[in-house]
Each structure stands twice: as C-alpha cells, then as structure tokens.
A and B are shown apart, each in its own frame.
Chain A
Amino acid sequence: MDLQVEIMEQDEETAVLAAAGEVDAYTAPKLKEALLPLTKKENFLVKVDLKDVSYMDSTGLGVFISALKSTKENNSSMKLVHLQDRVLRLFEITGLIEIMDIEWGANG
C-alpha cells in the first residue's frame, strides 16, 4: 500500500515519470510533489507511466487535474500512458478521459 515515483528519463524537452503502487489520500501528495514541478517548464512534455499503478481514487484524479491546470498555465503538456483497466475506468466515469491526453494498454 505504498507508492513509488521515479523520473525514468529526462532530456531538454521531455520527462517520463513512472509511478508504481497505489495512489490514495496518503500517497497522492508524493505523486503531486514529483509531477507538478515537471509541468512548470515551458514547452516541456511530461509522460506519466501508470503501468504499475494498481489502484487509484479521486485523490489521484485530483493530482492530475492540478497538473493539467499547471500545463495550461505554463504552456507545457502532460500525457498519461499505460493505464491499467481499473484506473482507466475512473477517467472514463468522471469524463476526464475527454480532457486529458491518455493512452492505455500495451500500445500506450
């Protein structure tokens, strides 16, 4: 019931942030702390790899909403990749799938 967050790759224009574990009220601040600074660089693309995130609730959605707002303010972009079905489902139910750049499954 923990969350690991790690920057896997980073260059001038992009970064891949990989998260693994469960995102809930306890662990969401950790994700936010790692993700938000990456959204504050102009023309920067941050990919969040959620392949190993087995659980997420609205606290996680809240982090991505904050991050999305930050990308709009800072002219950067964010893409969520490799979402597991259960996690993807929350983005579908809430309609966030319409406003976020999301790729899921093996091809994401």
Chain B
Amino acid sequence: MKQEFDFVEIRIPAKAEYVGMARLSMSGIASRMGFLYEDIEDLKVAISEAITNAVTHAYREEPGEVTIGFGIYSNRLEVMVADRGGSFRLEDIKEKIGPYRHDEPIENLREGGFGLFLIDALMDKVEISNDHGVIVLMTKFLSEAEVDVSDDQISAT
C-alpha cells in the first residue's frame, strides 16, 4: 500500500556556499516534523556531508546543480541528494537504489574524509545509487516518543 507523504524539493548551485542554506531547510523541516534537537543536529550534518560530496566530487570543473528532496512521512524523513541537476521522482529513485555495503568501493563517491561514514553513523538507513551521477538516499525515523507527541497533537485537534 502506498504511504502518503509530502515532498519538498530544492535545487542549489553546486557550490560550497549553499551547503549552509540547505542545512537551514533541513533544520526547518525536521523541527516541523517534531524531531528532537539531537536528531536535528544529526540530520544537519548528514545533509551537509551528502551535498559536500556532490559539490566537491561531481563538479570539479564545470558548474552544476545539486537537487535535494525531502520525503516527509508520518514516522520518518527521507532525504535525497542528487548531483545531477534534474528533478527526480521519489518512487522511481527508490526502485533503483540499493543498500550501501561496507565492502563496496566508494572511491568515486569520496576521496578520504569521513563524509559517508558520518552519514552512515548518523542516519538510520543509507542507500546510494551510482547509475546517473550519485544519488544518496538517507532516512531518519522519528523515535516512538516523537511520533507519540505528534499523534497526540493530531487527536487533540
């Protein structure tokens, strides 16, 4: 059964100076959903890492765009970061994407650094597709306490 969700998409120039702006968007969406402070901070680092990867590795020579999609579900937030400028359909991408395996070579995604490692450590689920550019799909679930809070709010209205 298809789950209902809201979708927010933003496109930014593939430049480091826009990472902070995406982080603010993330912060706004996550706090609207009721994520706790700690989780919001984790989400901010994760999205920054994914965009930094795209900015530093995908567009070393020519200018480009990074597309960021937020899938807002009742129990989780899915964040997608794609280093090709075109819009994407959430359902299509999810079909193409596989889980990130620790034994697979990721040289083309990052050179050294802790970016992907941090994404993996801070998010509940991380999937990566390499077919057309690099797409990172990462998921963070609302904790039961957080879900309960929003349930209460819904029943109260």
Residues of A within 8 A of B (CB): 1, 22, 24-26, 55, 57-59, 61-62, 86, 90, 93-94
| Known A24-B48, A58-B117, A94-B118; further 7 A-B contacts with Cβ < 8 A | A55-B23, A55-B45, A57-B118, A58-B52, A58-B115, A61-B113, A62-B114
A58 with B114, Cβ < 8 A, contacts A25-B56, A93-B121 known: yes
B85-141 residues at the A interface, CB under 8 angstroms: 112-115, 117-118, 121-122
Q: With A57-B49, A86-B41 in contact, is A26–B118 under 8 Å at CB?
A: no
Given contacts A24-B16, A24-B20, A57 and B52 within 8 Å (CB-CB): yes
- Taken together as a complex, chains A and B put the C-alpha atoms of A94 and B114 apart, in Å, by 7
Give me the interface of B with A, judged by CB distance under 8 Å: 16-17, 19-21, 23-24, 41, 44-45, 48-49, 51-52, 55-56, 112-115, 117-118, 121-122
- CB pair B55 A25 closer than 8 Å: yes
A62 to B110, CA, bound (A): 13
Question: Which of A22, A62, A90 sits near B20, CB closer than 8 Å?
Answer: A22
